[in-house]
Amino acid sequence: MKCKKCGCENPEGNMFCEQCGAKLSDDQATKKCSSCGASNGLEAEFCTECGVPFKEKKAKWKYWLLVGAIFLILSGVAGVLIFNQSENTEPKADSVAEKESEDVPSYITKDENSEYRVLQTVDCYKEPGKEKTAAKLNEGSVVLILKTADFSDHSQVWGETEEGWCMIQKGKTSYLEKIQLKDSKFYEINQLYEALDNQPIYTEPSLLSKSNSDVRTGDLIEIVEIKEDQFDTIWGKGSSGAWIIMRNGKVEHFKKMEEENQPKAIPDQEKTPQKQFESQNGYILPDSDSRYIASQELLSLSLQEINYAKNEIYARHGRKFNSNELQNYFNQQVWYRGTISPNDFSTQVFNEFEKVNLKLLEEEEYTRSPQGYLLDQ
C-alpha cells in the first residue's frame, strides 16, 4: 500500500510507513488471506473471498507473564504454609533462651573457701542439678565451700565441695548456712581454765583445722581470746596460739579456775631448783611433751627453772649440752640418756606440744631477763 504522505510503497498489513513513519490510514491497512491471497480489512475476522477465518497471533510475552504470575502466587502460598507449620512445632528463640537460663546456673563466685554448716542432709552432684554421686553431706557436719553458683533468677544457690556440688538454698529453704564468727564475752580472757574432758586442739577456730593433738581432762589453759558463731559454739585461744572448743551449745568443756586454786608466784629466794625437781620425779615440767603449758603455771618457777625446763625438752630426746651446768644437771636425772651431740641434733623430733611449749618458755625467760638465764656462772 502507498503512503499518502511520502508516496512510499509499503507491504500490506503495515500500520506505519517504512520510509517516513507516518501512520497509514485504516482504509489503507489490510491483511492478506493465507488461503486465497485476497486483501481484507484489518478488522475482518473472515476472508471476504473464501470465508476462511483469520488466526490472530498471541503475544508470547503475555504468556510468560501469566506463567510467572502463577508461579509467584504458588510460591507465596507455600511459604505461608511452611512458616505457620514452623511456628506451631518449634519454640521461639526467646523461649529457648529463657529455658536455658532456667536450667543452667550462672557461675558467679560469691564465697571462696568458706565454711558452711549442713542444716539438712543433702546429696552431692557432679554438676549443679545434674547427675548425682554416691556422696552425701550429713546434717550437723561442717564443709568447705570452694565456690558458689547462682541460677539467673536466684531461685537456687549451689556450692562446690571436695565431694561434689550440693544445694545450699532453694527458694526460702536453706540446706547449708555459712558460719560467721564474732568476738564473745561469754568467758573472761587472760584467765586460767581447766579441761572437763578430752578435747581436740585446732590451729584456727574451725572444725576443719583439727590438729593431731588433744587437751586432756584436768589440763590448764590460759585463754587470751574468745570467739563464737551463730550455732552457739564458743572458741577459746590459748596463750600458745592454739584454739579449743570451750562450749558447744549447752555443753561446757572448760571451767574457770577459782582464784584461790590458781598457781601463785613464789619468790625465788624461798625455794631451790632441787626442791622443785624432787617433787616432779626429776622433771620440772613432766608432761611438756604431751600437753600445752599455760603461762600461769610458770609463775611458780624461777628464772633458772624456766631455762632448765626449756632444755629439759631437748634432754628428753637424748641431746647433749655444751654447757657444763646443764650437762651435769641432766646427768643426775635417772631418765636422761645423752647420746646425741649438739651438732647432730635435729629439732624435727619435736611434736606440736613441745614446739609450742619451747616457744612459751623462751618468751617467759627473756621477758623476765633480757639476757635470759646465764649458764655456767
For 39-72, give the DSSP string. EEETT-SB-TTT-PBPPPPPPHHHHHHHHHHHHH
62 in any annotated domain: no
374 in any annotated domain: no
Average pLDDT of the chain? 81
Give the closest residue to 117 by CA, choosing from 232, 260, 280, 258. 232
349 in any annotated domain: yes
What pLDDT sits at residue 144? 93
What pLDDT sits at residue 11? 74
238 in any annotated domain: yes
Tell me the per-residue pLDDT of 150-192, one tens digit each, with 9 for 90 and over.
877 778 899 999 999 999 998 889 999 999 999 999 999 988 8
What pLDDT sits at residue 274? 42
Q: Do 285 and 354 fall within a single domain?
A: yes
321 in any annotated domain: yes
Q: How confident is the model at residue 129 (pLDDT cuts 50, 70, 90)?
A: confident
The answer on pLDDT for 229 being more than 50 is yes
Q: Do 216 and 256 fall within a single domain?
A: yes
The answer on pLDDT for 307 being more than 70 is yes
The answer on pLDDT for 126 being more than 70 is yes
**Which residue has cell 574451725?**
206
Q: Do 187 and 125 fall within a single domain?
A: no
Domain termination residue (choose one: 237, 261, 285)? 261
Q: How confident is the model at residue 269 (pLDDT cuts 50, 70, 90)?
A: very low
> Averaged over 82-106, what is the pLDDT?
53
Domain that holds residue 227: 181-261
Q: Do 274 and 361 fall within a single domain?
A: yes
64 in any annotated domain: no
Tell me the per-residue pLDDT of 237-260, one tens digit each, with 9 for 90 and over.
987 788 999 999 889 999 988 765
For 155-199, give the DSSP string. SEEEEEETTEEEEEEETTEESEEE--EEE--SS-SSEEEEESS-E
Strand partners, 55: none
82 in any annotated domain: no
> Averaged over 201-217, what is the pLDDT?
86
Task: State how many domains the chain has.
Answer: 4
| Calpha distance 226→214 (Å, rounded) | 19
What pLDDT sits at residue 113? 86
Average the pLDDT over each of 97-101, 248-252, 342-346 and give the range with the smallest value: 97-101
Domain termination residue (choose one: 136, 151, 178)? 178
What pLDDT sits at residue 181? 94
| Calpha distance 41→38 (Å, rounded) | 10
Q: Do 160 and 171 fall within a single domain?
A: yes
The answer on pLDDT for 5 being more than 90 is no
Q: What is the CATH number of the domain that holds 118?
A: 2.30.30
What pLDDT sits at residue 377? 65
Q: What is the DSSP letter of 248?
A: E
Contacts of 17 (CB under 8 A, 6+ apart): 3, 5, 6, 8, 10, 23, 24
Q: What is the CATH number of the domain that holds 346?
A: 1.20.58.1690
More confident residue, 317 or 129: 317
51 in any annotated domain: yes
The residue length of the chain stands at 377
> Averaged over 107-134, what is the pLDDT?
85
Q: Do 153 and 194 fall within a single domain?
A: no
Average the pLDDT over each of 8-17, 213-222, 280-289 and give the range with the smallest value: 8-17
Strand partners, 116: 143, 178
Q: Do 293 and 352 fall within a single domain?
A: yes
Domain termination residue (choose one: 222, 239, 261)? 261
